[in-house]
Amino acid sequence: MAAEVCKPDPDLYVPSNTRVSRWEDLAKRDSRRKKGWRPAHEKTFTPQCFSSFPAHYTQQEVEIWIRRHRIDDLQKRIAVQDFEANDPDIRSQSPEPIYDAKTGLRSNTREQRHRDRYIKERLRLIDEVLSLDPSYVPPPDYKPPKKQKKIFIPDPDNPAVNFIG
């Protein structure tokens, strides 16, 4: 008897570096491989289109809806640390670096400036929505910003100089 030559099935191609189980269906294995969870920083956020609103919305309700949508967008971007990167040729120069006295690390990096800008915009939008809609419940991590006002104190000895208190 001559030895029979085993020929591989042309419909069943398996890369040589993967293990194949006789008990597992190849189609099932490939479909399982195609599915996958991506990390949060790779997921994209597509905002809803602002082109049409329900006809019964008033102008104030539209303004509230737009602001609330932007608040949600900013919260997601801050949580994932997704800061819009502009073209390096267009963006302005960075300010002089400021270093932390204790750690020696730079405290005014581009990412930190963008993060601070997003947080300020988010706080401003929450204040606006609270003033427009009293039934709005702010996010649980919201703390109203401390309000500051400059008060000029005149000095009777130096009337030309105002001190700020």
Establish if 163 belongs to a structural domain. no
DSSP secondary-structure letter at 156? S
Establish if 45 belongs to a structural domain. no
Establish if 162 belongs to a structural domain. no
How many structural domains does the chain have? 1
Establish if 47 belongs to a structural domain. no
Amino acid type, 13: Y
| Reduced 3-state DSSP string for 62-124 | HHHHHHHHHHHHHHHHHHHCCCCCCCCCCCCCCCCCCECCCCCCECCCHHHHHHHHHHHHHHH
CA distances from 26 to 15, 32, 75, 119 (A): 12, 10, 42, 50
What is the token pair recorded at 36?
A: 């996958």
Establish if 160 belongs to a structural domain. no
pLDDT at 1: 47
Residue 121 exposure: Cα atoms within 13 Å on the Cβ side = 17
Domain enclosing residue 71, as ranges: 57-86+94-152
Establish if 158 belongs to a structural domain. no
Positions in the chain short of pLDDT 70: 1-50, 85-88, 162-165
